[in-house]
Amino acid sequence: MEGLAAGLEIFSDPTTLGLILLGTVAGVFVGALPGLTSGMAIALLLPFTIFLEPIPAIALLSALYCAGTFGGSITAILINAPGAPPAAATAFDGYPMAVKGEAGRALGIAAVSSACGGIFSLVILILAAPALAHLAYQFGPPEYFALTVFGLSMLASISGKSALKNLLGGAAGVFIATIGVDLTTGVERYTFGRPELYEGIHFIPFLIGLFAMSELLIQSTRTHQILERIKMTAVLLPTREDFRKVWKTILRSSVIGTFVGVLPAEGGTVAAMIGYNEAKRWSKHGSKFGTGEIEGVAGPEAANNAATGGAMVPTLALGIPGSATAAVILGGLQAQGLQPGPYLFEQQPTLLYAIFYSMLLANIVFLGIGLGGAKLFSRISLVPRTFLWPTVFALCVVGAYGVEQSMLGVYVMLIAGVIGFALRRYGFSPAPIIMGLVLGKLVENSLAQSMIIFDQNWLLFFERPIVVLLFSLSLIGIFAAPVAGLLRKTAKEPASANSIEE
């Protein structure tokens, strides 16, 4: 409890507060640029933080982490170009809302949901960090495999009206994830002798192409159309009725995001995908998801920002990064001469709680930026297409190239854009493809590791309680909708027969 109180001292230090504010503003800006992530920004800032004291240095990096996750939703909503991977699911309903002239409403919901998710996870983190760290330690390769199977079980219902097309899209995403050198056997797969493909297809250029570039190509087919712009609607913020509609979704996704974030190496992208699908599963308007439902924005945004707080648990308690960005923060801790692990909770409690409080403050600050700037940001959707889409194309090229400073990223982005354009014309949604790509490598590696642990005896999966629980949830997710539909059909048939007899 001493650390809990001592951590509050950061609020009396003007330097630390200034750095938190700087990190938050920079995070929103960087997160909004397609191809640039908070992880990249933190990596660039890392050398400069060495000259700071540990608490201000890590507070700056943590604030940037939280705000960068939210920043990605801005371009995801306005131009269908997720600024960061965790915002990919936000584009599914956020961009259709912007197209309908509801950009301000979508941005407002995204800001509030992100802040609520982040604050929820940090409150849980502050109160129960040691216990959550112990929970994360229980997850091994078999549990990760079961978790990814649970994620893949959602493919049939994640978006669109055709379960078959969703499954085909998910299978394509898993296939793309297999490109590169197999970590278990060392075998090259679909590299065609190109060293650039040994590590596989990078997620970010493919994401930019599938969303932003394909949208650009679709817009190019509509140059003859005259759009009627509803300017007043575009800048309106969410109403109280909107928040009443989404509060359950925000709470549910906050729990999901915190749990997924606690699991080492999962991160906000997986949390957002699961949060979106669960929002659709529990919504009364699930069939309308993908057309501009605010619950489809609230679900992934609450989940991905809740995952930022959760990801700090294994990073600090076990020294195992909870996400790619948390791995960079881990490097920042080590650069300050600090070794994350169980002893950190005993030896440096003030530092730990100062990190938690700085992230909490960052969530409050970016909530103000998000709501205060939503009307300004939303006006981007009113820019004439002749100016907007050439700018989007330039951002796509810069973002795809900047990931690895390689033209391969640009080629991947262009090819993914053409593929996305073709698929969307034939009724395929990009959501299952992205989910298959995100989970494909994880499911393959965790299965290979599990089979090595079990000495090729797959029955040992069912001796682990967490695995059995996740497998059971997967089965429920796969068969619940068909069984419910069958029961409804069966119930209607006697009723219609009785009406005929009467």
**Contact by Cβ (8 Å): 461, 467:** yes
Task: Give the pLDDT score at 127.
Answer: 76
Residue 178 is given by DSSP the state T
Helix (H, G, I), strand (E, B) or coil at 188: strand
pTM of the complete model: 0.65
pLDDT for 157 beyond 80: no
Tens-place pLDDT, residues 95-136: 888 888 888 888 888 888 988 998 998 887 777 766 655 665
Task: Give the pLDDT score at 53.
Answer: 82
pLDDT for 293 beyond 60: yes
- Of the two residues 169 and 83, the one the predictor is more confident about is 169
Task: Give the pLDDT score at 315.
Answer: 72
- Of the two residues 481 and 42, the one the predictor is more confident about is 42
**Contact by Cβ (8 Å): 155, 166:** yes
Tens-place pLDDT, residues 64-83: 888 888 888 888 888 777 76
Task: Give the pLDDT score at 199.
Answer: 79
- CB half-sphere exposure, 23, CA atoms < 13 A: 33
**Contact by Cβ (8 Å): 87, 304:** yes
- What tokens appear for 162 in the block? 């055709």
pLDDT for 10 beyond 60: yes
Task: Give the pLDDT score at 20.
Answer: 86
Task: Give the pLDDT score at 107.
Answer: 86
- Residue 239 carries which side chain, given as an amino acid letter? T
pLDDT for 473 beyond 50: yes
Phi, then psi, of 202 in degrees rounded to 5: -70, 140
Query: What mean pLDDT do residues 343-351 have?
Result: 68
Phi, then psi, of 190 in degrees rounded to 5: 55, 35
Tens-place pLDDT, residues 399-430: 788 767 788 888 888 998 898 888 888 878 77
**Contact by Cβ (8 Å): 111, 72:** no
Task: Give the pLDDT score at 266.
Answer: 57
Task: Give the pLDDT score at 226.
Answer: 46
CA 109 to chain centre: 16
Residue with tokens 């915190």: 258
pLDDT for 227 beyond 50: no
Residue with tokens 């262009």: 414
Top mean pLDDT of 31-35, 145-149, 256-260, 343-347 is at 256-260
Top mean pLDDT of 44-48, 105-109, 381-385, 483-487 is at 105-109
CA–CA–CA angle 125, 137, 304 (5° rounding) = 45
State the pLDDT confidence band at 4, using cuts at 50, 70 and 90. Answer: low
Tens-place pLDDT, residues 256-267: 988 888 775 556
pLDDT for 344 beyond 80: no
| Long-range contacts of 158-161, Cβ-Cβ distance < 8 Å, separation of 24 or more | 158/273, 158/276, 158/277, 158/280, 158/429, 158/431, 158/432, 158/435, 159/92, 159/280, 159/289, 159/290, 159/429, 159/431, 159/432, 160/290, 160/427, 160/428, 160/429, 160/431, 160/432, 161/287
Task: Give the pLDDT score at 183.
Answer: 73
Top mean pLDDT of 283-287, 410-414, 494-498 is at 410-414
Helix (H, G, I), strand (E, B) or coil at 403: coil
Task: Give the pLDDT score at 69.
Answer: 80
Query: What mean pLDDT do residues 305-324 have?
Result: 72
Helix (H, G, I), strand (E, B) or coil at 455: coil
Task: Give the pLDDT score at 49.
Answer: 77
Could you please report the per-residue DSSP string of 286-313? GGGTTS--THHHHHHHHHHHHHHHHHHH
Task: Give the pLDDT score at 231.
Answer: 46
- Residue 481 carries which side chain, given as an amino acid letter? A
- Residue 267 carries which side chain, given as an amino acid letter? G
Task: Give the pLDDT score at 375.
Answer: 66
Mean of all residue pLDDT scores within the chain? 77
State the pLDDT confidence band at 228, using cuts at 50, 70 and 90. Answer: very low
Q: How far apart are CA 253 and CA 308, in angstroms?
A: 13
**Contact by Cβ (8 Å): 88, 272:** yes
Q: How far apart are CA 502 and CA 499, in angstroms?
A: 5
Task: Give the pLDDT score at 230.
Answer: 40
CA distances from 2 to 14, 123, 350 (A): 22, 17, 8
Task: Give the pLDDT score at 216.
Answer: 79
CA–CA–CA angle 237, 234, 278 (5° rounding) = 65
Task: Give the pLDDT score at 319.
Answer: 61
Task: Give the pLDDT score at 232.
Answer: 43
Query: What mean pLDDT do residues 325-339 have?
Result: 72
